[in-house]
Every structure is written in structure tokens, then in C-alpha cells.
Amino acid sequence: MELPLHGITVVALEQAVAAPFATRQLADLGARVIKIERPGRGDFARGYDRSVKGLSAYFVWINRGKESVALDLKDPTDRSLLDRLLARADIFIQNLGPGAADRLGLGAETLRARDPRLITCDVSGYGPEGPYRDKKAYDLLIQCEVGLVSITGSPDAPARPGISVADIAGGMYAYTGLLTALYERERTGQGSALSVSLFDALAEWMGHPYFAQAYGGAPIARSGARHPSISPYGHYACGDGARVFLSVQNDREWVALCSQVLGRPALIRDPRFADNPLRRAHDDELTAVMEADFARHTADGLLALLDGAGIANARLRTVGEFADHPQLTARERWRDFGSPAGPLRGLLPPVEVRGREAAMGAVPAAGEHTAAIRAEFATSSMLGPHERRASAHLGEGDPASGTHRVRIKRRGLGGAIFE
């Protein structure tokens, strides 16, 4: 069966993480993603590290299933090729530096004036207006500006979260925005001009700490691997020296913990722990009570006891242990995909569509598809962009095809619909 975005062409003038993360999701769903890279160097994320058989872990993660085309956009021949690519595109996404797309004549207003059905998406650091519009923006710096780093880490020191959350947030909002725009175009026949900033995306994710501080009065304290507003929720030492993580989300679970795990039902009504705000205020005392009891158990024994009582729990796994996680193995979530360094193993995308599987194409070498794309888009007729798409489907102009020139009524996700 065809994947949902079969027939959709995406031209991506992208680099680093946010926009490539968005377009990889589209490629996994069957879209054709043509990635424009710098001649010679390519996307600078290719050089972040060499940990995956000599390739960058970042690049491998977010660029599979794409076609790489090396173009010098200041060269008239290469720029003409890009224009021909855009004439056949459904989506154009870019995350160049502030103002760069407009200077290249690739701003949303310019492109959509030529093709109103084109969907454009600009991914930026801080958005198209405001005093920070032209400020350089990278993941950790955005985290700092929205206050995330101030609430992450131990009480003694702030810390960066272990993944690029600002880039991922921006990429996911770009991805969902593009899917929404495709759906809207099916109904209206018109494309859209989308704008997503990493700052706005991560600011949305700061909703809980904002409301807690703005209306609760007290700033959110850094709490290490414990939850800042729920207790008990975090890591607890066991008798074998290991630590177990658990979470109590409501009074019913608190009762189960006290009666079935700790064997101390009197704690249920203890005035220090009678509800969650009180438990959080006395978290150090509660931790001491729990760890005194947990000292009787091994980690395996305690996890079994927590499972039996219906208390959510987890082991603290390393990344290596995660890679061998029994849940991933049991559900056959790993797949092999190609790369310039040979076969690699990666996870299927999170959304499963029954009866179909994500494309998970190969990671391209820099400029790998340049020659093929130049040949495919070698000439451009005088037809308009949507009529060119029609001729690509119907062989317009070829007497042997027996077809005649048609006028497009609208274009569906899987191809043109004609009248």
C-alpha cells in the first residue's frame, strides 16, 4: 500500500536539526524530500561528530530517506535548477539564518505569488518580528532564554537536558503545521505560509512552570531527578545499592503505596503527607521514611512489589541498556536502513499505521543525487507549475500517449485531479 504522503514533493533548504527533523517525518510517511546542501561541505550537521561508522549521529538520525542535491544558490545555473524544483514542489521549508531566504528571493511572499498552492515553512530561532528577530539562535541558547535551564539540574547547578529539546520542539511543530496545511489545501485549494520559531515552540512547553510560578507565587526549584511539584516522584535507594524510580500521581496510589508496599497504613493520614502539596513540602522526610523501608528490598524485588500494587515505576537505564530494551525487542521496533557507511539500525517512527510501515530510506551522501536531479529537471517548459505536474502524470504533449492538454481542477495528496 502507498504511504500517506506518496506524491508529495518537499524541497528543503535546511541545516542542523529543527527543519531536518520535520522533513524526516515527512519522508518516513512517503513524501519525496529533496534536500539542498552546500557544494563540498553539505549540511554542517554532517560534521558534528563521527560516531556512527564515521558519520554524524545527528545527521544519521534526522536525514534518512532524503535525496541530497548540492547547489550553489549564487550560481545562475544552480539557481535555475532550484526554481524548477520549486515549480514542482508541494512544500518548501527553510531554516537559514535570519533574512537569508528573503535575500535569496526565496521568501514566502515571493514564492507563493508564483504558486498559490505552494506551502512554505520558515523555521527560525525567535520569529520574524521583535527585538530578537536577527539574533543567532542555537538549541541550548533557546533553552536558556525560555527559562528551561533555570529549572533543570540539581539545587546546586543548572543543567542542559540531555537532548536538543528546542530543536525537537520546533521540528515537531513544523511537521504538524505542514500536515495541517496539506489537509487545508485539500479543502480550499490554497497553500499556506507557515512560520515556526524554536523560541515559541519551547515557550509552549514551559506552560506548567509558568503557571505554577505566575499564580503560585514561588519560583520552580531545581530538583535534580525528582519532580518539582509531585511527591513521591523520583529515585529511591534500595538495599542492594541500586535506585528505583517511582511515581504516585493521586490519593488512590498513595493509599496503595502505604498499605501494600510500605506496610504502614498509618502514613495515609499522617498530617505531613495527607495530600500531594503536603507531601511535596515534606519530601525530604517522606524520602527518608520510604528509603528506610526500601532498604529491606533488592531493586528487582521492589519493582515487583510496586507492580503488584499498581504503582508506576522504572529502572534507570543507560543508553546502551535502552538499545537492548526488552519492550523494543518484543515489539520488533528496530529496522535496518542504508547509509554511506553501510547498513545502520534505527527505530521505526512512533506512529504506527496498521498494514503499512514507514519508508525508512537511506541516509544520503552529500550531493549523492545531484546528477540524477539535474537530469530529471534538465528543462522546464512554459507551462505553469500545476500544468507541469499534470504533464508529468499524463504525458502531455506526447502524441503516442493519446492524451490531450488538461486543466487542473485541484491536486490531491496522491496526485492531480483533473476536469
Please indicate whether residue 353 or residue 394 has the higher confidence score (pLDDT): 353
Within-domain flag for 321: no
Same domain, 245 and 372: no
Predicted TM-score of the model (pTM): 0.84
Structural domains of the chain, count: 2
Within-domain flag for 130: yes
CATH code, domain carrying 269: 3.30.1540.10
Same domain, 266 and 344: no
The whole domain housing 243 covers 233-316
Same domain, 248 and 183: no
Cα separation of 282 and 284, whole Å? 6
Same domain, 336 and 360: yes
- Checking if the pLDDT of 410 tops 90, the result is no
Same domain, 253 and 139: no
Q: Which three cell numbers stand for residue 338?
A: 542504508
Within-domain flag for 186: yes
Same domain, 124 and 177: yes
User: From residue 318, how far is each of 42, 131, 324 by CA, in Å?
Assistant: 32, 41, 10
Quick: pLDDT tens for 250-289. 999 999 999 999 999 999 999 999 999 999 999 999 999 9
CATH code, domain carrying 26: 3.40.50.10540
- The CB density around residue 109, as the number of other CB atoms within 10 Å, is 9
Same domain, 296 and 341: no
Within-domain flag for 127: yes
Within-domain flag for 287: yes
Q: List residues with catalytic annotation.
A: 227
Average pLDDT, the chain: 89
Within-domain flag for 79: yes
Same domain, 359 and 298: no
Q: How confident is the model at residue 370 (pLDDT cuts 50, 70, 90)?
A: very high
Within-domain flag for 245: yes
Average pLDDT over residues 50-68: 96
Residue that terminates a domain, selected from 284, 316, 348: 316
- At 266 the pLDDT is 93
Q: How many CA atoms lie within 13 A of 64 on its CB side?
A: 25
Within-domain flag for 37: yes
Q: Which helix (H) or strand (E) holds 312?
A: strand 312-315
What would the DSSP string read from start to end of 50-61? -TBTTB-HHHHH
Quick: pLDDT tens for 83-139. 999 999 999 999 999 999 999 999 999 999 999 999 999 999 999 999 999 999 999
- At 42 the pLDDT is 93
